A and B are shown apart, each in its own frame.
Chain A
Amino acid sequence: MGRTLFDKIWDNHVVYQEKDAAHGNPSLIYIDCHLIHEVTSPQAFAGLKQHGRKVRRPDLTFATMDHNVPTTNRSIPVIDSDSSIQMHTLRENCNEFGITLFDMLSPQQGIVHVIGPELGLTLPGMTIVCGDSHTSTHGAFGAFALGIGTSDVEHVFATQCLWMHKPKSLNIKFSGTISHRPGISAKDIILSTIRQIGISGGIGSVIEYSGDGISTLSMDQRMTICNMSIEGGARAGLIAPDDVTFDYIRGRPFAPSGEKLEKMIEYWESFLTTDSETCHDKSVKMDLSRLVPQVSWGTNPSMVIDVTENIPYPEVFADGNVEQEKSAKRALEYMGLEPGVPITEINIDRVFIGSCTNARLEDLVDASRVLEGRTVSSSVNAMVVPGSQSVKRAAEEKGIDRIFKKAGFDWRESGCSMCLGMNPDILAPKQRCASTSNRNFEGRQGFGGRTHLVSPIMAAAAAVEGKFVDVREWF
C-alpha cells in the first residue's frame, strides 16, 4: 500500500508503539530538532529542575530570543523589566543545560522560524518542534514541524520524544501558478486557501501542499504558505522537497555538506514523496489562475476578500450559519467597518512589514519594488522589521534598506515585533494597520488595534497610498 510523505516521516520516527488499546495506542515520536525561545521555555526548564532532570539532547536543541526583543537601538538596556527577566532566564537556562543560544546581540539572532532554515537546522524528513504555533513554517522543507505547549517542551527536553496520535493527511493541490503575475504573492495563496477551508478546516490534519502552484515557488514563498497552516487549524503543513529545497540547503552553516549532503539529497529525493494522491485522507483542489491580491477585513484569518471586493454583509459571509453571522457582526464592529464599502476605500494609519510569515529577504525585496521613487503617505507610520539579522544584513548589502528609508519607512532590528506586540511595537486603540503578519485576532497587535492581513507588496503599496490599493495596477 502506498504512503504519503507524512506517513513516511512519521514511520521513520516511531520509537515505541503503545499496543494496549485501552491506553489509546499513541506513538512515541522522536524529535530531531527542538527550537526554543524566551516566552514558552522558562516554565519547562523550571519543571526539569524541580524533578532533577536533564536536557537529554542539548546538541539537538537551539535557542533564540525573538518575542520580547526591542527592534530599536540594542546597545541600550531593555527597558521592560519583565521582558528583561524573561530574556535573562533563557540565557541562564541555556548556560546551565549546555544549549546553543543565538542571543539578542548575536549576528545570527532572529525570529526562530526564520533562523532555523537559514542556519540549515531545518532539513527534509526531520521532526521539528517548538513552543510556538508557527513552527509549521519548517514544513516547507518536507519536515514534520509542529507547535507544542510548554508541558510538551519540558517533555522533549527530558526525553527528546513526544507522545502523539497520528494526524490525518489533507492534500491541497494548486493548479495554475503565480509566476509572472506581478502583485500576486504566496501570501495571497495561503489567505485565499484559509478563506476556503476555514480556520478549523485543518483540525486534526497535516496539510500537504502540492501541484504546479507550489513547485514553482521559491523557499521563502513556500515558508509563507506552510507558516499559516496553523491559521487553517492544521497540526502542520508539508511540501515535498525538490531541487529548489536542496539548492537552498547547500552551504548553510549547520547543514551537512559535500558528499554527505549529496547522499542525503539522493535519499530525500527518492523517498520523501507521496506515493499516490489517493493515499491522503482528504483532498482539496484550488485554482490559482484567477487569484487576485487578498485583504483580511475581520478578526480571524478566514475573514478575507479580494482587493477588488466590498466588505461583506455578515449574512452573506455566514451563508446561513448563525454562529458565523454573529461572529462576522462582532468582527465588523471591532474593526470599525461598514458592509458594502469597497476595501480600497479604507484608510490606514500603520504599516507593518515583518513576522515569521513575511520578513525574509524575498519579502523585503518584493515590497521594495513598488517603493522606488515613491514615498509613504503623510498619514501613515510604516515600519520594516527584518526576520533575522542575516536577512537585515543581506537586505542592506543589496541596498534595500535605503529604498525603504528613502520612502519613509522605519528600518528596524530583527524580531517578532508588532506581529504580537510583546515588545514596545504595538498599535494604539482603533489604529488600522496593513500587516504582513499572520493573525488579525482582536487586540493581537495592541489593545483595540485593527489588523488587516496582506502580502508585503500590498502592504508597501498601502503605505504609499494611505489605503488599500490593487497593486497589480502598478505594473
Chain B
Amino acid sequence: MKYFKFICDKAIPLDIINVDTDQIIPKQFLKMVKKEGYGEFLFYNWRYQDDGTLLTDFVLNDKRYSGRRILLTRDNFGSGSSREHAVWALKDFGIIVLIAPSFADIFYNNCFKNGILPVKLKSQEVEFLFKNSENEEIVVDLDKQEVACCDQSFSFLINGFNKRMLMQGLDEIGLTLELESAIGEYESKRGIHSST
C-alpha cells in the first residue's frame, strides 16, 4: 500500500536526536535483493543483545508500545546513508507515520515512495506529544494537514506533490511517463550532455 490519509493511534516515543539510517537498518541487512522482510532487523543493534535476545529497555521492545504505528522522535531523523532499506524496515515493522521536528532530506523523500508519512512539527509541539502520547491517542489527518492530541491541534506543511502521491497512492513513474513527449523534446535539444 502506497497511500495514506488518516490515522488515530498512540505513539512509540524514540527520544533520541540524529537517529541515522545505519541505526535504523545496519549494513549487514542490506544484502537482500527484495523490498520485504526487513522489519525484524529494524534498529537491530539497539533491539538485540549479542546472543540475539531482546534488550528490554529499548522502546521498540517495550510491550506497552507494541503494535503502535506512529513513531515520535527528535530532530534530523534518518540522517546519513540513502538506503531505502531504512524505510522498508519501518514499513515492514508496521510504522506508517513519523513525527519529528526535522528529517534528513533523502530519507524524507524515500518515505513518500513507500506510503509512510513523515510529519514535521515545531520542537515545542513535538515536546507536547512526548509528554502526552504515552497514554493519549494522536490523530494525524493528511488531508487537513493536522495533528491532534488531547485538546491541542497542530498544523503541518507538506508539499502538494507528495500529498497528492500519498492521498491517491499514485504510481510516480507512470505519471512521469505520461510526459514522454516533453522528455523526448528535451533530449532532442540536448547536446552530448545538457551542460552545453
Contact = CB atoms under 8 A, between A and B. Distances in A.
B45 A158 contact: no
A322 to B, nearest CB: 10
Interface stretch (B26-34, B60-68, B91-99, B136-144): B26-34
A465 to B, nearest CB: 29
Interface in A416-475: 420-422, 429, 439, 441-444, 447
B58 to A, nearest CB: 13
Contacts of A203: 76, 102, 104-105
Contact of A40 (B76, B82, B104, B160): B82
A37 B4 CA distance: 31
A191 interface: no
Given A25-B160, A324-B17, A32 B81 contact: no
A85 B32 CA distance: 9
Interface size class of B (residues with CB under 8 A): 35 or more
Nearest to B29: A82
Interface in A245-264: 256, 260, 264
A421 B26 CA distance: 10
A158 B82 CA distance: 20
A377 B71 CA distance: 47
B131 interface: no
A362 interface: no
Contact of A151 (B17, B114, B179): B114
Contacts of B23: 441-443
Contact of A159 (B22, B102, B162, B173): B173
Contacts of B183: 15-16, 28, 30, 56, 159-161
Contact of B196 (A67, A80, A267, A420): A267
Contacts of B104: 200, 203, 233
Nearest to B74: A323
B176 A23 contact: no
A148 interface: yes
Interface in A20-36: 20-26, 28, 30, 32-33
A42 interface: yes
B135 interface: no
Contacts of A256: 192
Interface in A228-248: 230, 233, 235
Contact of B76 (A22, A26, A199): A199
Given A24-B160, A158-B176, A152 B192 contact: no
Interface in A79-115: 80, 82-83, 85-86, 89
Interface in B111-161: 113-114, 159-161
Contacts of B17: 323-324, 326-327
Given A30-B194, A149-B84, A163 B176 contact: yes
Contacts of B80: 133, 230, 439, 441
Contacts of A160: 183, 187
Contacts of B22: 420, 439, 441-444
A24 B84 contact: no
Nearest to A300: B18
Interface in B163-196: 163-164, 172-174, 176-177, 179, 182-183, 186-187, 190, 192-196
B165 to A, nearest CB: 9
User: Which of A32, A132, A199 is packed against the most chain B CB atoms within 10 Å?
Assistant: A199
A182 B75 CA distance: 38
A267 B196 CA distance: 7
Given A22-B160, A28-B176, A203-B105, A124 B195 contact: yes
Given A199-B79, A204-B105, A443-B26, A26 B161 contact: yes
11 contacts: A25-B159, A56-B183, A60-B193, A151-B110, A264-B192, A327-B17, A420-B81, A442-B23, A442-B45, A443-B22, A447-B50
Given A42-B33, A327-B17, 15 more contacts: A12-B194, A23-B160, A23-B164, A40-B84, A51-B173, A133-B81, A149-B113, A151-B84, A159-B176, A200-B79, A235-B105, A264-B196, A323-B75, A420-B81, A439-B22
Which 5 A-B residue pairs are closest in the complex by CB-CB distance? A125-B195, A24-B160, A24-B161, A151-B113, A24-B159
